[in-house]
Amino acid sequence: MNAGAAHNSPGAGMPSVITAADATRMSLNSSLISANLAAYTILVLAAFQWLLIFVSHCVLQRRYVRRRPFVDRPTDDYPGVTIIRPVKGVDHGMQRTLESSFLQEYPGPVEILFAVEDPDDLAIEVISNIIARYPKVQARVLIGKDNVGINPKVNNMLKA
């Protein structure tokens, strides 16, 4: 008897009838689930991309940017270095470029030679101002023209 009562309950043993409203509601639920799944997938991919960018930035910082200290040993143990800078005329950003030679972190002695061809070159004034700002760095301006080849930069550097 109880078994018959269970069969008389709605939907038990009989195919259920789906109304148009039910079909629309199920379609909307299915669409919302698909939209949510797509949104979560995009969010996870974006988070993964940012994580990848962050990790690669950290690796590059560690490998290329981090200053590595020189080995603990007396300054006299490092050989002297001469930086030769051929210069002609004044360019945009030239002062910052030339000044970078003075900002080296090499522990040994550093000498900077600026080779200029023409004594009336406007670059001499820029170089003199930079040399005056760094009196502890050994730097000189060499002026003159030596024609030994076809490359003007090489000709200019031969004075050094």
Q: Give 77's DSSP letter.
A: G
Q: What's the pLDDT score for residue 53?
A: 94
Q: What's the pLDDT score for residue 117?
A: 85
pLDDT in tens, the chain (160 residues): 455 454 455 555 555 677 766 667 667 677 778 878 888 999 999 999 999 999 999 888 877 775 666 666 676 778 889 998 988 889 898 999 999 999 988 888 899 999 888 899 899 999 999 999 999 999 999 887 776 666 666 666 666 6
Query: pTM of the predicted model, to two decimals?
Result: 0.52
Q: How many residues does the chain have?
A: 160
Q: How many DSSP H helices and E strands does the chain contain?
A: 5, 3
Q: Print burial letters for 29-43: b (CB count within 10 Å at least 16), e (below 16).
A: eeeeeeeeeeeeeee
| Beta bridge partners of residue 141, listed in sequence order | 114
